[in-house]
Amino acid sequence: MDDLAGFLRTRRARVDPAAVGIPTDSRRRVEGLRREEVAHLSGVSVDYYVRLEQGRATQPSEQVLDALARVLGLDETERGHLYRLARQRRRRAKAPGGRVRPELLRVLDLVTASPALIMDHRLDVLAGNRMAGLLYGRPVAGLNSARHIFLDEDERGLYADWETCTLDVVGHLRLAAGKYPDDPRLASLVGELAMGSERFRRLWARADVRARTHGRKAFRHPLVGPLELHQENFALPDGSGRELLVLSAAPGSPAEDGLRLLAGLDPTPPGEPAARGEPTNPATRGEPATRGGLAAASRPGRPAGQMPPV
């Protein structure tokens, strides 16, 4: 789904030649570095680097990857992504699956004052606590965060920093595509997002990767107002690619008061059972939902498409 050649091309295009000591003039037509310039600065032959960008060279050495990462100015996350892409042909990771363990669901129940979610590498919400359902205004099990942000026009207003959220989502999915290139559900999700969102197509073409482990997350809740929260991502220690996300408020802040108000709301519309864990029908996972107060009504999902080329 993602490849080394495409990643190298996009990283090369963003490097300022002047930053690596290459003089430029008005006649230069190439955005970023030329392939021969990357090869020279990395200490590899031009022919070998061209074959890397054309997908014809396999299994580059650690020394070559280290040199390329240095010349292209990759950060720690991008460097790890580069190494994973280079190893794809040797060992392709199988996409994890399976249900959430009951012990983890009990952990969610212990978090009572803050929204908490368990999410997989596709940004599918596998389970959430009561506060998460109140924050999103619907049972969160089955919600896909990427669809929610890019395709649910009615829900966009929930995210106070919507543009930043889109960068985080695309960067996360790029990392997941590098780790699980043979995951058909991930490929289908990327194709669906590309068909339904012009912004997603533009961001995906940039091939940026992000690993968000913590940071600010701001919401505009329709009932309790602005909520400026702090998100912590805890990778589960079972190699599943899943994370526990907890959204907390600083002590004494307006957001803490907002979470208290949120906790006093009833998340379940009359006559409907509360839902926390995984949906019983996997086909319904991630369907968009509209907000009506705290009630949510399902509507048909969008058709899946093909992933756009890098």
Give residue 120's region: left, alpha or beta (phi > 0; psi -120 to 50): beta
What pLDDT, on a 0 to 100 scale, did the predictor assign at position 173? 95
User: pLDDT 10s digit of each residue in the chain, 310 long?
Assistant: 458 888 899 999 989 888 888 887 777 777 889 899 999 899 998 998 998 888 777 778 888 999 999 999 999 999 999 988 888 655 556 667 778 889 989 999 999 999 999 999 999 999 999 999 999 999 999 999 999 999 998 888 999 999 999 999 999 999 999 888 889 999 999 999 999 999 999 999 998 998 878 999 999 999 999 999 999 999 988 777 899 999 999 999 999 999 999 999 875 554 444 445 444 333 333 333 333 333 333 333 434 444 444 4
Distance of CA 194 to the CA centre of its chain: 14
What pLDDT, on a 0 to 100 scale, did the predictor assign at position 24? 76
Residue ranges of the alpha helices (H) in the chain? 4-13, 35-42, 46-53, 62-71, 76-87, 102-110, 130-136, 145-150, 162-179, 184-196, 198-206, 254-263
Look at residue 302 and give its three-state secondary structure.
Answer: coil
What pLDDT, on a 0 to 100 scale, did the predictor assign at position 298? 34
* Structure token digits, residue 37: 């310039």
What pLDDT, on a 0 to 100 scale, did the predictor assign at position 94? 67
What pLDDT, on a 0 to 100 scale, did the predictor assign at position 271? 46
What pLDDT, on a 0 to 100 scale, did the predictor assign at position 2? 54
Helix axes 35-42, 62-71, angle to 10 degrees: 120
CB 173 within 8 A of CB 143: no
Chain position carrying tokens 């940039």: 206
CB 295 within 8 A of CB 274: no
Q: In angstroms, what CA-CA distances link 117 with 164, 193, 261, 267? A: 20, 22, 20, 16
Distance CA 212, CA 4 (A): 22
Distance CA 190, CA 206 (A): 14
Number of H helices, E strands in the chain: 12, 7
CB 176 within 8 A of CB 190: no
From the CB of residue 126, how many other CB atoms can be counted at a distance below 10 Å?
23
Q: Side chain identity at 123, as an amino acid letter?
A: L
Q: In angstroms, what CA-CA distances link 31 with 40, 179, 228? A: 17, 28, 38
What pLDDT, on a 0 to 100 scale, did the predictor assign at position 292? 36
What pLDDT, on a 0 to 100 scale, did the predictor assign at position 93? 60
From the CB of residue 181, how many other CB atoms can be counted at a distance below 10 Å?
19
